[in-house]
């Protein structure tokens, strides 16, 4: 039903053409009444069961890497995909691998793969007043007495999840009208789009309240808004959905800027706790919060490339090399890391509906390691996948 839109409350199921969508959206009630269709869409996006077709998508890599013998993957997100299926995908991707260091890093949730566990934590750097992220990695056997660390992660997970509610409130609450106006001007959308976004956000608020006790807690995240609207693409004009997503992305950025950082643990506190457990610390995509390069934190290394952060790869490799040349004899050298930042839930989607920037990532696939324009800097800095795997494993096992 491309180019068509479902009528007002969905009760009479009258269908009108896309060129009448502005008038139809204007007639929609606010606050809206939930329909059976809304319930169906909501259940579809929080469902963590996998169909045979989705399982096949998970275990089948986008591209086999038969010539890659060293697999370094210390920044990727399993989400709700079973680890045994992920393992099948990895084995199929690298049929001739010899050396590997593969550690999952779910956001604020500790997860295990093989002998190692990892997590990507949100924390607050008081020194330069920014939220930053750290990749923390452990030999799993060392986490038997990690009660304090796990409690810190649980607090951070719950607080980070509350950002979704702040985001929805900014879209639906009249007191944030100025923010919506600013987002509207920034994205060039009209009143129809703003109203449609408010109606959909309010529906999602109501559904979250109604299903609060049963929804999997790892589904409480900002992308639920995008997925709720995407689940209804067959009911609304593609142009309306696309413009709404652009508008909501702008509002989400504003909600993040307004989200208080003081309830996160300090960066130094997470580093101290990780070190007490024999863990490793890596800074992901530092170009997104560059002051961390100057903060002199006790870290094992920096991620110089991932699909979201590609602009300064060569520069960051050289920065790490220069820092290593000035370190004291007793200090461990900083390591060069690259992260694929794969989100496994993207693999179960129909490619035509998936977010291309995330769908085409894969665990351990980091092309710059073999890029001739980057390899020169890697050689000078004595950095390479095999060396990093060996050195970082030794630190985690030592």
Nearest to 284 by CA among 82, 115, 73: 73
Name 329's Cβ contacts closer than 8 Å, sequence gap at least 6. none
The structural domains of the chain, with segments of one domain joined by +, span 4-50+160-258, 61-146+277-397
Phi then psi dihedrals of residue 9, to 5 deg: -95, 5
Select from 43, 56, 80, 32 the least CA-distant residue to 195: 32
CA distance 247 to 188: 8
Euclidean distance between CA atoms 213 and 218, whole angstroms: 13
Q: Which of 373, 367, 364, 398 is CA-nearest to residue 102?
A: 364
Q: pLDDT per position in the chain (398 positions), as tens? A: 333 333 333 333 333 344 455 655 655 667 889 999 999 999 999 999 999 999 999 999 999 999 999 999 999 999 999 999 999 999 999 999 999 999 999 999 999 999 999 999 999 998 888 999 999 999 999 999 999 999 999 999 999 999 999 999 999 999 999 999 999 999 999 999 999 999 999 999 999 999 988 999 989 999 999 999 999 888 889 899 999 999 999 999 999 999 999 899 999 999 999 999 999 999 998 888 888 888 889 999 999 999 988 888 999 999 999 999 988 877 899 999 999 999 999 999 888 878 788 899 999 999 999 999 899 999 988 899 999 999 999 999 98
> Could you tell me the pTM of the whole model?
0.88
CA 174, 175, 177: angle at the middle one, nearest 5?
65
Note whether 38 and 207 are within 8 A (CB): yes
User: Helices 147-172 & 223-230, crossing angle to 10 degrees?
Assistant: 50
237 and 3 Cβ atoms separated by less than 8 Å: yes
């Amino acid at each position: 039903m491309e180019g068509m839109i479902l009528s007002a409350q969905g009760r009479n199921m009258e269908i009108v053409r896309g060129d009448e969508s502005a008038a139809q959206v204007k007639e929609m009630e606010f606050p809206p009444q939930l329909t059976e269709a809304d319930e169906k869409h909501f259940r579809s996006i929080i469902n963590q069961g996998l169909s045979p077709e989705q399982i096949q998508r998970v275990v089948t890599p986008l591209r086999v890497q038969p010539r890659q013998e060293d697999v370094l993957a210390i920044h990727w997100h399993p989400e709700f995909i079973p680890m045994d299926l992920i393992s099948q995908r990895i084995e199929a991707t690298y049929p001739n691998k010899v050396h590997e260091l593969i550690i999952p890093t779910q956001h604020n949730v500790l997860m295990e793969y093989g002998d190692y566990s990892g997590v990507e934590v949100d924390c607050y750097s008081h020194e330069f007043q920014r939220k930053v992220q750290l990749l923390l990695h452990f030999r799993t056997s060392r986490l038997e007495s990690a009660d304090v660390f796990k409690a810190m992660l649980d607090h951070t997970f719950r607080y980070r999840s509350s950002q979704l509610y702040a985001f929805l409130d900014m879209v639906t609450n009249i007191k944030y009208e100025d923010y919506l106006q600013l987002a509207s001007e920034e994205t060039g959308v009209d009143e129809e789009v703003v109203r449609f976004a408010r109606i959909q956000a309010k529906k999602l608020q109501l559904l979250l309240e109604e299903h609060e006790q049963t929804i999997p807690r790892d589904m409480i995240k900002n992308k639920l808004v995008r997925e709720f609207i995407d689940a209804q693409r067959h009911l609304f004009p593609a142009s309306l959905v696309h413009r709404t997503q652009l508008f909501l992305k702008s509002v989400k950025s504003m909600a993040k800027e307004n989200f208080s950082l003081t309830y996160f643990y300090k960066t130094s506190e997470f580093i101290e706790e990780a070190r007490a457990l024999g863990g490793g610390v890596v800074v992901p995509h530092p170009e997104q919060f560059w002051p961390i390069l100057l903060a002199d934190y006790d870290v094992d290394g920096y991620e110089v490339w991932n699909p979201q952060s590609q602009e300064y790869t060569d520069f960051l490799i050289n920065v790490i090399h220069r820092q290593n040349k000035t370190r004291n004899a007793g200090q461990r050298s900083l390591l060069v890391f690259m992260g694929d930042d794969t989100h496994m839930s993207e693999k179960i989607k129909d490619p035509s509906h998936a977010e291309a920037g995330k769908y085409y990532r894969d665990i351990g696939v980091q092309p710059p390691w073999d890029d001739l324009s980057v390899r020169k800097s890697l050689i000078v800095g004595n950095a390479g996948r095999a060396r990093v795997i060996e050195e970082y494993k030794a630190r985690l096992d030592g």
